[in-house]
Amino acid sequence: MKKKLLILIAALCSLLFALSACGESGAEKPAPADPSKILVAYFSATHHTEGVAEKIAQATGGTLHEIVPETPYTAEDLDYNSDCRANAEQRDPSSRPAIQGSVENMAEYDVLFLGYPIWWGEAPKIIYTFLEEYDLTGKTVVPFCTSGSSGIGSSAQHLHALAEGANWLEGKRFPQDASESAVGEWIASLGLKPAAGDPEEKTESGTMTDTIYLTIGDREIAVKLEKNAAADALLELLRESDITYTAHGYGGFEMVGALGHSLPRSDERMTAEAGDVILYSGDQIVLFYGSNTWSYTKLGKMQDVSSGEIEELLTAADGIAVTIGLK
């Protein structure tokens, strides 16, 4: 009876997920990349990295693949306070532990999430074995790791050298108990897009989206987005739901408020002008009605509205409610 109940619950969850991914018209909401072309490969000797990999696969819809050593690691093999197997492998630059099985259809994947624990500041040598087995030219590789304290650091840099021709993204370190929301926000920040030659990413109306909308009071203003990772990540958040925040005046030229999410930064020194929508410090949205020179990441530009109208709208009160959304 318990087994039948679990199967029924799983079926209902799948149905609810499918329904939530559709709008009133029944059109499926787009994903950052085709889930069938995403592989989440991981090595996890103590199951810590496995938990994060499972969350990534769930969030992306990608295929989960465990990198399994031909000779499993025992507790003695991982006793770092002794001359154990793991320590000996990490000290040996030529060490390449053998792997059981392989990814037979690697050519079909466009995006590879690659996960591993940190062993003495580096990726386990079995990850070197895995990377050297495949031609990753043209694929996007996204490393992630788990550790109690060490960052991803040089481990990802050394692995990058083994994936010549791949588009290698900056990786991230997670604690073993990373939450689903933390993993989801990181994935959204990557701004992954379908590979060249794949069908274009489309909105529910069937056209490519480069516009979002600000609602302030009873006024709706279109904002044409920049082509950068921050704008892509914001767009992905808005496909889930609108975002409303409170903006306050600063410096006599801008209204600034906390977005409630962190977006990837690509700051450069610029002179922001009236109508510019700017990302500041990774999680602050700035709406300009004046001008200022600073290091920012530009998100977009307000359309079909004069600088005078922008100033009047944004300075109507010290605190104004701003809603960002899609059509």
Cα torsion for 40, 44, 48, 51, to the nearest 10°? 30
Same domain, 174 and 48: yes
Q: What is the CATH number of the domain that holds 116?
A: 3.40.50.360
Same domain, 40 and 179: yes
- Model pLDDT for residues 81-110, shown as the tens digit of each residue: 888 999 999 999 999 999 999 998 999 999
Same domain, 184 and 230: no
- What is the number of structural domains in the chain? 2
Same domain, 174 and 68: yes
Same domain, 123 and 243: no
In a domain, 228, yes or no: yes
In a domain, 130, yes or no: yes
Same domain, 72 and 185: yes
> Any alpha helices (H) in the chain, and if so which ranges?
2-20, 48-60, 85-91, 125-132, 153-160, 180-190, 229-240, 307-314
Q: Which residues contact 86 (CB under 8 A, 6 or more apart)?
A: 45, 73, 77, 78, 80, 119, 124
pTM: 0.52
In a domain, 167, yes or no: yes
pLDDT value of position 130:
97
What domain range is 319 assigned to? Answer: 211-325
Q: What is the pLDDT along the chain (327 residues), one digit of tens a residue?
A: 444 444 443 444 443 333 333 333 333 333 346 788 999 999 999 889 999 999 999 988 899 999 999 999 999 999 988 889 999 999 999 999 999 999 989 999 999 999 999 998 899 999 999 999 999 999 999 999 998 766 787 788 889 989 988 999 988 999 888 888 889 889 988 877 544 444 444 444 333 468 999 999 999 999 999 988 888 889 889 988 999 999 999 999 999 999 999 988 888 899 999 999 999 998 999 999 999 999 899 999 999 989 999 999 999 888 999 999 998
In a domain, 244, yes or no: yes
Would you say 279 and 247 are in contact if contact means Cβ atoms under 8 Å apart? no
In a domain, 16, yes or no: no
Residue labelled with tokens 């922001």: 272
Would you say 115 and 40 are in contact if contact means Cβ atoms under 8 Å apart? yes
Q: What is the CATH number of the domain that holds 219?
A: 2.40.100.20
Same domain, 147 and 253: no
- Model pLDDT for residues 45-62, shown as the tens digit of each residue: 988 999 999 999 998 889
Same domain, 179 and 241: no
Same domain, 150 and 110: yes
In a domain, 157, yes or no: yes
Same domain, 142 and 248: no
In a domain, 174, yes or no: yes
Same domain, 159 and 87: yes
Same domain, 39 and 110: yes
